Amino acid sequence: MRDTNNNIPISEKYSLTIKEASKYFGIGENKLRRLAAENNTANWVILNGNRILIKRKQFEKILDSQDQI
């Protein structure tokens, strides 16, 4: 379902910005930036110039397999 501005809801997006991922996963922006920097070749990180994007479904799988981050 789309909101009134015709934006795709976060839960349906393929990739999320750090800000969106922070809201969606309940993880701080700084923590997400650090995780992405430490794992910049991981399959859940997309680097678009200086912009970091998180592949939502792949990152969900990573979180599902972790006890702590």
2-47, pLDDT tens digit by residue? 555 568 999 999 999 999 999 999 999 999 999 999 998 999 999 9
CA distance linking residue 30 with residue 19, whole number of Å:
10
Single pTM value for the model: 0.84
Helices (H) and strands (E) in the chain, counts: 3, 3
Helix axes 18-25, 56-64, angle to 10 degrees: 40
Q: What is the CATH number of domain 10-64?
A: 3.90.105.50
In the chain, what are the domain boundaries?
10-64
